[in-house]
Amino acid sequence: MPGPPDGEQLLALGHKLGEINFEVTPTEETDMIRRAMVLSLLTAAVLCTSARAQEDPAKSYPNKPIRVIVGYAAGGANDLVARVFGPKLAEGLGQPVIVENKTGAAGMISVEYVTRAKPDGYTLLFAASSMFTSNPVMFKKVPYTLSDVVPISTVVTFPFFVMVSASQPIQSIKELVGHLKAKPEGANASGAAGIHQLGFELFKSQTGTRGQYIPYKSTTQSINAVIASEVLMTIADAGAASGALRGGRVRGLAVTSPTRLASYPDVPTVAELGFPGLEMGSWMGLVAPAGTPMPIVKKLQEEVNRIIKMPEFRERMSVLQVNPEGNTSEQFTAMVSSDLARWRAVAKASNIQPTD
């Protein structure tokens, strides 16, 4: 048995009725009846079409340009990945994707901007993990929470390297731990973000060592400090350190991923070295304002997972030393919540006090 007519069918019927010539002498009454019938059908068609659009807004999404907000300066890792990802997203959705940089306050300005945007899928955040997993731990005033956004999917993930200067005689994690314990006056580590400090605190708790964290303005500066032996060690991502690693100016003692990296097969994992609790990493992913319809979230999630399988995209990401990796909105949300809880525990155990 056929179902009720949809909006398009009602519209067609209304127009057809409007063209009917009644086989009676036209009168004012018959003309009014015909107009009322046509008007009723057209009204029903509009209401039906509107209801269907509300049920599945993804069917008409997108029909205008999409803005992807990046919270860090042009040329940084977050920006570079976003600018490779953006055109691929545009190809899949059939609309322009404009990448915009809104920098400041450790990325918090960009997050706040997106949380205040209309939740319609046209303003998205290319988020970095620190925005949601370390900023709430390291700063007293964070103008958003995880509930203010809808995590869509991760795009890339990447681990950290435990590194020392190549000029140091230290050849392994075991020797580094021994050095830290034997010479506590020179026990220190550089970094440029809250996640680096938290990573060093986790390192100390797992290895039973002590040391001072020394902040720098950028990861490049913190790595250069290690090269110059201003500090003993650093924990940083391979993308930022790749030039120094490949140039032999720093020595990678361990990688914090569950498995060895194909680009650095000689660097053992922390688990191999007896420290599975040191596994950690970061991610970049797509986030929308809270309230964004789930059909739109699902559509974007499908696009992310399509893009990360593209050989060209994967090749570009390998150059940046990051791993294309997607997931569902539910998995992404659970991962962020778990990471945040982990770093809160590390900060509490290390007595790290959040700053203004």
Tell me the CATH number of domain 65-158+284-350, given options 3.40.50.720, 3.40.630.10, 3.40.190.150, 3.90.230.10: 3.40.190.150
Cβ burial, residue 63 (10 Å; 0-12/13-18/19+): exposed
Q: What is the 3-state secondary structure of the chain? A: CCCCCCHHHHHHHHHHHHCCCCCCCCCHHHHHHHHHHHHHHHHHHHHHHHHHHHHCHHHHCCCCCEEEEECCCCCCHHHHHHHHHHHHHHHHHCCCEEEEECCCHHHHHHHHHHHCCCCCCCEEEEEECHHHHCHHHHECCCCCCHHHEEEEEEEEEEEEEEEEECCCCCCCHHHHHHHHHHCHHHCEEEECCHHHHHHHHHHHHHHCCCCEEEECCCHHHHHHHHHCCCCCEEEEEHHHHHHHHHCCCEEEEEECCCCCECCECCCCECCCCCCHHHCCEEEEEEEEECCCCHHHHHHHHHHHHHHCCCHHHHHHHHHCCCEECCCCHHHHHHHHHHHHHHHHHHHHHHCCCCEC
Tell me the CATH number of domain 159-278, given options 3.40.190.10, 3.30.1330.40, 3.40.1670.10, 3.40.430.10: 3.40.190.10
Confidence of residue 17 (pLDDT cuts 50, 70, 90): very low
pLDDT in tens, 101-160: 999 999 999 999 999 999 999 999 999 999 999 999 999 999 999 999 999 999 999 999
Tell me, yes or no, if the pTM score tops 0.75. yes
pLDDT in tens, 193-242: 999 999 999 999 999 999 999 999 889 999 999 999 999 999 998 888 88
Confidence of residue 29 (pLDDT cuts 50, 70, 90): low
